Structure formats: C-alpha cells, structure tokens
Structure 1
Amino acid sequence: MRLASEEDYICSLSWAKGGNYLAIGTSDCKVQLWDVYNRTRVRSLASHTSRVASLSWNDHVLTSGSRSGHIHHHDVRVADHHIFTLTGHSQEVCGLKWSPDGRYLASGGNDNLVYVWPRMQEGGTTNSVQCWSDHQGAVKALAWCPWQSGILASGGGTSDRHIRIWNVNSGSCISSLDTQSQISSLLFSPNYKELVSAHGYAHNNVVIWKYPALTRVAELKGHEDRVLSLILSPDCSTIATIAGDETIRMWKSFEVDPVKKAKERLVKSTSSVIHQSIR
C-alpha cells in the first residue's frame, strides 16, 4: 500500500472491528481507508487542517485527532463523512481511545490534558464529561479496562512518567505510579487482569503490572530503542511491540487455557521465577 504522494507519511493507524479495513492518518491532513485484503484504498477523508496524529473506531464512526488540537467524528458510511468536531485541546491530540461499550471517548494531548467525551447524540452538543490536568507531560498512552466499566488508564511522557487510573463516573484518580520512564502505550490484559505499559526513555522496555495494585509482575527487555506502541493478540495471549530500533517483537506472555493458567500461576508463586516473556 502506498500513500497518494511520496512526500506524505503515516502518522497514525487504527484497525476497524473485524480487521477488514485499516484507517491511516497522514501528514497531509487526511484519513485514508484501506481494504486490506484487496490492497485498495476505499476512500480518503478530508476535514483536518494539520496532520492526523491519532485514530480510534466506534462501530461505523471513525474518530481522528490532529495537530491543531481538533477531534473529528467521521461516519464512514456516508459521503458527507464529517459529522462533528470536538474542541478542548490546545495542542496536538496524540492519543484517542473509545471505551469498549462505545459510551466514552478518551483523548490525550501534548497540552498534558486528558479529556473524556460522551458519545455524540444526534442533533445535540457534546461537552466533555471529565478533564484532568494531573499529568506533567504529553498523554499518548490511553487504555480502557475491559472488565470494569468507566475505568481509564493514562500514561504521561518524559516530563511525567506516571500511570494514572481514573474513575470516569466519580472523576477521581484511583491510583498513580511513577514508572521512572516515558510511557508510550498502555493496554489491559483480561486473561490475568493486568496492565501492560510500553516505555521509551530511559528504559525502552515493556512492563506488566498487577491491577489494581500496580505492583510489577514482569519486565520484557529486548528493544534497543524506545518502544513506540504495543498491541494484544485477539486471543489475548501475545503482546506485539514496535520500537525505534526498527524491530517488531512478539512476546508470548499470557496463557489462554484456564487450567494451564492456574498451573502456571501456581508454579510461579512457588518458584518466583519469571523468564522474560514466558508466564
């Protein structure tokens, strides 16, 4: 797959549910939709005035965040795709994540703010339900807890380095942890009810934390430059990471089978040995 111009570059990616379509945010202010299996571009969505740094799907609505600080909702089913604009961030929107139930959108920016927006109602206005300013660095890393509704994790950049867990309903910060390293990506693992964080300066590693205690369970080392992003396999057993060292690494980190999981956890609890990514 190639972009329209050799001068353009990819700023963000997001898979649609089902994995047939891929959204690409580009440096020329557009969002491209690609049919991955046929390797063809389906359409190009133009509405932003600066590069598209973040993307997140909610059913047929694709949400994009740009360097201008604006967040756009696109209904990809219709020709007039741009249906709403959210304004709040004063700098680039570098993180976007819809909650699993589609009720809330979380956004993080280079202005160090975290916003939570409600799902847009037809004909209505949309104001944020929460805005948190606790982070002291850019917020790119966002993750919703899949088994506990209304719980959001956010991670700060080099000037902050904190993971913070939020309760959207109460607006309170449940817990906070200084990781001593830039946080680039977060995800919740449902198999063990744990939180996984990817880091840049200074450790360039991946850490698995027990939730909600945020005690360290395992550290995955191997990348030689900052870890830019991570994702969990569909069966929730394997973590894939990409880093500035231009490598992609696969970490077999979680058992899927409940019986094997129980046995593995029993062995670890008695031996206290965790061998890199085998858990």
Structure 2
Amino acid sequence: MERFRLKNPVLNPGLIPGLLGYISALPLLLGTALFSLGENTLATPQTRMSDPAVQSGLSESTASNAQVPGQRDRPIAPTWTNPKLLLAIEGESATIQSLAFSPDGRFIAIGGGRNDPRIEIWDLQQEKRIRHWKTYQNRVLALTFSPDGNTLVSSADGGAIEVWDVQKGELLHQFLEHRSNVLSLAISPDGRNLVSGGLDGIRLWDLRDRQLIRVLLNLQPIYSVAFRGDGQLIAAGTHQGNIILWPLIPGEGAAIVGNPLTTSFQHDRGITTLDFTPDGNRLISGSFDATIKCWDLVNRELLYTLVDHPSWIKSLKINPNGQLFASASRDGIRFWNLETAEAVGFISAESDWAQAIAWYPDGLTLAIGGLDRIVNLWRGGMGANEDAIASDSP
C-alpha cells in the first residue's frame, strides 16, 4: 500500500507550493529536524597537479561552457548545516535503487532494488502515485527523464534499456544490444541522444530514431557516464579508475563522435559516479577508493580530493545552481562547497541505507532513497537570513 507521508500535517495543502516557494514560516512549521549532524570537518585538499600528459585535443573539447540555458535563473544555494526533513514517500518497492525528478519537478520516479524491479511515478502536485509497473528485469539500476519529461528511460541488470511513456506507463521501446548490467544512463540536453554504461562497455543511442549510433567502449566495465550541459562531451569512468572523454557533435542526423580523449584523471580504484558542473568547466568523480575528486577541465588539473567518507562513494550529484554538491556513502549524505571543498553539512544514515540521491530542479531539496524503501526529501536552510525570517514570522 503506497503512502505519501508528510512529516508535518501543517504542510499538507499541496506540495508543489512548498517546494517552489520557500515560505517564510517553514523553519517554524517543520519543528525539530529528524537528523544527526555529523562533524562539520574541512575536506582534505591536495596540491593542484598539472596534467601535461593529456592529449592536446582535450583543452579545445573541454573549453568553457558558460552559455548554459537557465543557469543564471537558479535560486541561491541554501545552507545544509541544518537541513529539514520535509516529507517522506513510501511506495511498494522493497528497497530503492534509483531516483529521478522530471525536469519540471512535478514527478519523481522511483526504481526498486533487487528482486523487486518496480518503477513508480509520483505526482508531487497531486500528492499521489499515478503510475507503477514492473519492468522485465531483476532491479532498476538507473533512471533518467527526457528533457520534456514525457519519457523515462530505465536500465537494469538484465542488459535491456527500456523507454517508457510517463503518463501511460507503457513500454515504448527496448534497446537490447547490451549483454550485461547497465549501471548508468544519461540523456543529452536536446533529448536526442542517450549514453549508457554497463559491465560490457558504453553505447551511444539515437532516442528519436531508436537505434544504436556507436559502441564507444566494448567489453570493459563502466559504472558511470555523464553528459556535459552543452551535450558536446561525454565522460565515463572505468573499473580501473580512469576517466575517458568523448567529444560529440550533435545535429539533425546521427551525432558525430570524436576519438576518445583518455585523460590522466584517475582514482586508485574503479569510478562509481560522475557529474559535470552546470558551466561544464569541472567534473566531479567518486570511486570505490572512498575518495571524491574535482577536476578542472579547462586547465586540465586536479583541484582537490575529499577523503571524509569511510567507504566507497555510491552517488554524487551537483546542485543545479553549481555552488555545492551532495555525496552518498555508507555513513550517509555529505554536502560540499564546490569552490572551497569545505564540508558544509551532513545527514547521517544507517549502514548501507542511502542508495540513490536526486536534486529537485530548483536545487533547494534533495531526495534520498535506500534500503528502508522510503524516499525522504530534505530541505536546505536559508542561510544567514533564516533566523531573522523565522523571528519575524507570526
């Protein structure tokens, strides 16, 4: 039996107004936050390392991407030293393996874990589940919405990539060229191309014509792939800890893929998660070696390494405003200032609890799902003005 369980009944009349507009009385309405604040320790930055061995084409392919649509319209980043538990969504999935928000923030998709390959679509405006279905796999390893929000793409450990109609819950297409677990998916900003990373390599797909464009890497385990914000660069992390970049020229026809740019960006162990900053100038990577690294793609250098998590990095997501990012590991969720590498918040968790995280499109709310089968939505604070606003509230 599904439940949409708000943490405070005062917030019941509609979720979307509460998410889109941070009302002045929210800190008072939510009361005591249900979380444990961990040590607000500083990260452990390393000395910047130049990277002269990178192929000469890298600097041109990774040039500044300042013209990202809508980036200037992002809300100011909240503080995460005192996050508030806004609401919880409890569906039918036994465990939660993957999460994704629709681009307009109306829907959240939830993917079930092992032996429960269920996908659920929750309408946050109506505060109810509108669609749910079981896939043809064993679990849902990755989910991603198309830019228009009408299509959801899922992957699993059976190798199939499935394209779904969000409103109808109907299977539109299956890509079957992968032969093993597909662990990561990313759709280009124009919605035309899909890149998938699995235990048997990387594939690039044409979503409109529903066909394979190219095998970018074959028979090499890949745990994470990502598209840069302009759609002209693909990043992938190998099981050996290396980061590979592919320049991409999108067009009306099939995208043209350049030769891979194998960088000297690497971890000691396999890379589990990757994300580009909204301006496209940096790439953040997490690894089985329990470290997070920030790479400057313009100057081709390592900016810093974070070593605060005690175990491998399960997921990391950069906030849409580009000022901070969240990382998930066995100890819970940590929040980081992207520029200074300072740890700015922490939500503790039971061992192995948090499996997936996703930012609400406005960047003010983080969804967390895991082994307790509940999706918790946490809201950031309002920074230095929070106390003043709360004291002025009736």
Do the two structures share a fold, i.e. TM-score over 0.5? yes
| Aligned with residue 74 of structure 1, among 201, 205, 211 | 205
Deviation at residue 71 of structure 1 after TM alignment: 0.9
Please give the alpha-carbon distance, in whole angstroms, between the structure 2 residues aligned to 1:217 and 1:106: 27
**AA aligned opposite 1:131:** T
> Could you say if the C-alpha distance between residues 214 and 244 of structure 1 is closer, same or farther in structure 2, counting changes exceeding 3 Å?
same
For residues 161-207 of structure 1, what are the alpha-carbon distances to aligned partners after superposition, in whole Å with 9 as ceiling and x for unaligned? 1111112233211111212322111122245811211112xx2x111
Please give the alpha-carbon distance, in whole angstroms, between the structure 2 residues aligned to 1:250 and 1:174: 31
**AA aligned opposite 1:94:** Y
For residues 57-81 of structure 1, what are the alpha-carbon distances to aligned partners after superposition, in whole Å with 9 as ceiling and x for unaligned? 012111111211x2111112115x0
Please give the alpha-carbon distance, in whole angstroms, between the structure 2 residues aligned to 1:115 and 1:189: 23
**Is the CA contact 1:227–1:242 (under 8 Å) kept in the aligned structure 2?**
yes
- Which aligned pairs between 1:232-251 and structure 2 lie closer than 5 A? 232-251=359-378
Task: Tell me which residue corresponds to 2:284.
Answer: 153
Deviation at residue 8 of structure 1 after TM alignment: 3.8
Please give the alpha-carbon distance, in whole angstroms, between the structure 2 residues aligned to 1:186 and 1:56: 14
Task: Tell me which residue corresponds to 2:230.
Answer: 101
Please give the alpha-carbon distance, in whole angstroms, between the structure 2 residues aligned to 1:98 and 1:215: 26
For residues 245-264 of structure 1, what are the alpha-carbon distances to aligned partners after superposition, in whole Å with 9 as ceiling and x for unaligned? 33322111255xxxxx5613
| Aligned with residue 206 of structure 1, among 328, 333, 337 | 333
Runs of at least 5 residues in structure 1 that lack an aligned partner in the other structure: 256-260, 268-279
**Is the CA contact 1:105–1:119 (under 8 Å) kept in the aligned structure 2?**
yes
Task: Tell me which residue corresponds to 1:185.
Answer: 315
| Aligned with residue 326 of structure 2, among 161, 176, 196 | 196
**Is the CA contact 2:203–2:217 (under 8 Å) kept in the aligned structure 1?**
no
State whether structure 2 residue 299 is matched by structure 1 residue 170: yes
| Aligned with residue 266 of structure 2, among 134, 154, 160 | 134
Deviation at residue 215 of structure 1 after TM alignment: 0.9
| Aligned with residue 159 of structure 2, among 11, 29, 42 | 29
Please give the alpha-carbon distance, in whole angstroms, between the structure 1 residues aligned to 2:326 and 2:297: 20
Runs of at least 5 residues in structure 2 that lack an aligned partner in the other structure: 1-132, 390-394
Please give the alpha-carbon distance, in whole angstroms, between the structure 2 residues aligned to 1:262 and 1:162: 30
> Could you say if the C-alpha distance between residues 228 and 137 of structure 1 is closer, same or farther in structure 2, counting changes exceeding 3 Å?
farther
Deviation at residue 21 of structure 1 after TM alignment: 1.1
> Could you say if the C-alpha distance between residues 145 and 265 of structure 1 is closer, same or farther in structure 2, counting changes exceeding 3 Å?
farther
**AA aligned opposite 2:280:** S
> For 1:119, what is the secondary structure of its paired residue?
strand
Deviation at residue 47 of structure 1 after TM alignment: 1.4
Task: Tell me which residue corresponds to 1:264.
Answer: 386
Note the aligned Cα RMSD (angstroms): 2.4
Deviation at residue 35 of structure 1 after TM alignment: 0.5
Identity between Structure 1 and Structure 2 (%): 22
**Is the CA contact 1:142–1:152 (under 8 Å) kept in the aligned structure 2?**
yes
Runs of 4+ in 1 over 4 A off after TM superposition: 120-125
| Aligned with residue 63 of structure 1, among 187, 191, 195 | 195
**Is the CA contact 1:225–1:245 (under 8 Å) kept in the aligned structure 2?**
no
Please give the alpha-carbon distance, in whole angstroms, between the structure 2 residues aligned to 1:130 and 1:244: 36
**Is the CA contact 2:285–2:294 (under 8 Å) kept in the aligned structure 1?**
yes
**Is the CA contact 1:86–1:126 (under 8 Å) kept in the aligned structure 2?**
no
Please give the alpha-carbon distance, in whole angstroms, between the structure 1 residues aligned to 2:327 and 2:265: 21
**Is the CA contact 1:73–1:85 (under 8 Å) kept in the aligned structure 2?**
yes
Task: Tell me which residue corresponds to 2:176.
Answer: 46
Please give the alpha-carbon distance, in whole angstroms, between the structure 2 residues aligned to 1:17 and 1:45: 19
Larger radius of gyration: 2
> Could you say if the C-alpha distance between residues 165 and 266 of structure 1 is closer, same or farther in structure 2, counting changes exceeding 3 Å?
farther
Q: Which has the higher contact order (CA 8 A, sep 6+)?
A: 2
